[in-house]
A = this chain, B = another copy of it.
Amino acid sequence: MATIYQVSEAAGVSLATVSRVMNGNAKVSERTRKKVEDAMASLGYQPNAIAQSLASNRTNSVGLLVSELHGSYFGDLMSTVEHVLKKSGKHVIITAGHVDEEREHEAIEFLKSRRCDALILHAEAVSDDYLKKLVDSKVPVVVINRKVDDLEQHCFVVDNVKGGYLATKAAIDAGHTKIAYISGPLFKKDASDRLAGHKKALEEAGLTFDSNSLFEGDFHESTGQEGMHHLQATFPDFTALVCANDEMASGAMTAAREAGFDIPTQLSIVGFDNVLFSRYLYPKLTTINNPIHAMGEMAAYWVLEHVYDVKSPIQIEHLFVPEVVDRDTLGKL
């Protein structure tokens, strides 16, 4: 592996000059630039990013924390963030926190130890306090899908209350009055917000919320099935089921089908997130669009603007609005 020293020797110039042509910042005469470039090419020189980072205190990489490396939701997020950042020559270092406080903490410390220039976090388990300290510690940080008090300017969130409201409102507008709900784990803010929206829509329509109509799942497909079974017993004859995410909706659909319901004629189902596979389902899932793509993009632009002085082509917004994606699983009553 050739070093800058060998290049400088081959080109007959000093280290500093080679560095200058590499970074293109200072002025170098055409002639010497050429010499250096030739030397680089003939040596197959490749700068050592590690050494560059150490010397310049810039890594040109931003850390991205996601909960999992698989799954549509995070796939979208990673993909979007990478896309935007790569266009400006920045790199993304991805880690997974697995919705576990210690592991998220570790992952963030890892990213910091790699001296990422900024962090984009989809942190679900770590405390608000920890995040505040992080921000105070001068690492540029952005938080996705979580609103932390006093850190509003660092957070990019979707209005989950509104999303939950819209989902249930859609069912009500279609004539349903007996509506069941499968929530996410309620200790999570997004899950409880969506449920709050659900209740609000019921109330607004003059329907009373029955605790038997609620099943608390964990956002995974299997609890959609469980929820469906459970609700059939506790809250029989409901005609619509709202699920707090698409995975659980898919599970519920499977269970409903096994129980002999035709969707949507006998049972309507509404999901949440609008992940990619929701349109592969049969019938295609009616759901609430969670603008994860837009949030990821925004987070990336925020970083470019605040850390790398690249002005964002779009206005930075922090609150995103969900909307109904009307497909085939919500039937009129």
Contacts and interface: CB of A to CB of B under 8 A. Distances in A.
A148 interface: no
Contacts of A54: 48, 50-51, 54
Contact of A75 (B70, B254, B282): B70
A325 interface: no
A75 B46 CA distance: 30
A292 to B, nearest CB: 11
The size class of the interface chain A forms with chain B is 35 or more
A95 B82 CA distance: 9
Interface stretch (A24-32, A110-118, A175-183, A189-197): A110-118
A92 B69 CA distance: 11
A253 interface: yes
B96 A93 contact: no
A49 B110 CA distance: 9
Contacts of A95: 91
Contact of A69 (B47, B79, B112, B254): B79
B82 A46 contact: no
A50 B59 contact: yes
Number of copies: 2
Given A54-B54, A94-B94, A281-B282, A47 B113 contact: yes
Interface in A73-126: 74-76, 78-79, 82, 91-96, 109-110, 112-115
A187 interface: no
A19 interface: no
B50 A115 contact: yes
Interface string A223-256: 0000000000000000000000000001001100
Question: Which 5 residue pairs across A and B have the least CB separation, nearest first?
Answer: A70-B75, A69-B78, A282-B282, A49-B113, A69-B79
Interface of A: 46-51, 53-54, 59, 68-72, 74-76, 78-79, 82, 91-96, 109-110, 112-115, 221, 250, 253-254, 257, 276-277, 280-282
19 contacts: A47-B113, A48-B113, A48-B115, A49-B113, A50-B54, A68-B79, A69-B75, A70-B72, A70-B75, A70-B78, A70-B79, A75-B75, A78-B94, A79-B96, A92-B94, A253-B282, A280-B280, A281-B281, A282-B282
